[in-house]
Amino acid sequence: MSTVNTRSLKDRSLYLVLTEEYGNGRSLREIAAEAVAGGIDLLQMREKSKSREELLRLGGDLAALCRRNGVTFIVNDDPLLAAELDADGVHLGQEDLQRCPVDRAREILGRDRIIGISTHSVEQFRRASGLDADYLAFGPIFPTRTKDYSIGTAEIREVLRLATKPVVFIGGVNPANFEILRKEGVTFVALIRDIMQAQDIAARAGWYKEQLKKAGGTR
Ligand code: TZP
Ligand code: MG
């Protein structure tokens, strides 16, 4: 059992958002284990069409993997499922907040668990900064098949200037564009495809981890 406090975001820089749809048919448990071996700091279970029973089974296995390895385990969309799985936190999109306001999620999860919120524009980021969340995600920065638009890199500086809590940048990140993020001062990134679809998942995660370490890590 690891002694890392997985409910703190300090020094956390690499976040894998695990989504079966993008796993090219590989087992999610295997992908997650390889990514953990490669050094990811956070793992999110992002499954939109599984039954509750499947989510509980998969989530239970992922939570155990993360716990053994000091990786923060986050559940997408559903604070009640996150609580049931004893996850480290939940990630809420803008639509999730319509169904479950952040204060309700906080009641369910308590003070020591993590709540993350997605934002897709500087205006949304500004608004979400006033909410009771522990980190904010900003993206999609680069074009990605998951979304039909991308924000680009021009607003990253403004977002980092406004930030009062950790910000994770997401969307279309790959080794070819990573340097642009680094130059903008980004120290915390989230990815789906470039890690899930890598030939060698552990090596690819390790590559990002190394680059992010050079970039300074989350404060
Ligand atoms: N939110 C903004 S972009 C994105 C999500 C979930 C998808 C990121 O996936 P990829 O494959 O890293 O572009
Ligand atoms: Mg959601």
Per residue in 93-150, pLDDT tens?
A: 999 999 999 999 999 999 999 999 999 999 999 999 999 999 999 999 999 998 999 9
Cα–Cα distance for residue pair 132/119, rounded to 1 Å: 14
For residue 3, say whether it is annotated as part of any ligand binding site: no
Q: What atom in ligand 1 is closest to the CA of residue 93?
A: 1
Total domain count, the chain: 1
Indicate whether this complex's ipTM tops 0.90. yes
Q: Is residue 67 part of a domain?
A: yes
Q: Is residue 71 part of a domain?
A: yes
Cα–Cα distance for residue pair 209/30, rounded to 1 Å: 19
Q: Is residue 190 part of a domain?
A: yes
Residues with CB under 5 A from ligand 2 (ion): 77, 93, 96
Question: What digits encode the pLDDT tens for the residues 31-41?
Answer: 999 999 999 99
> Which domain does 84 fall in, by range?
14-217
CB burial readout 102-130, b (16+ within 10 A) else e: beebbebbeeebbbbbbbbeeeebeebbe
76 touches 114 (CB < 8 A): no
Q: Is residue 7 part of a domain?
A: no
What CATH number should be reported for the domain holding residue 162? 3.20.20.70
Q: Is residue 2 part of a domain?
A: no
Q: What atom in ligand 1 is closest to the CA of residue 191?
A: 12
Q: Is residue 9 part of a domain?
A: no
Question: What digits encode the pLDDT tens for the residues 189-216?
Answer: 999 999 999 999 999 999 999 999 887 7
Residue with tokens 């559903």: 78
Q: Which of 191, 156, 198 is nearest to 171 (CA)?
A: 191
Q: Is residue 129 part of a domain?
A: yes
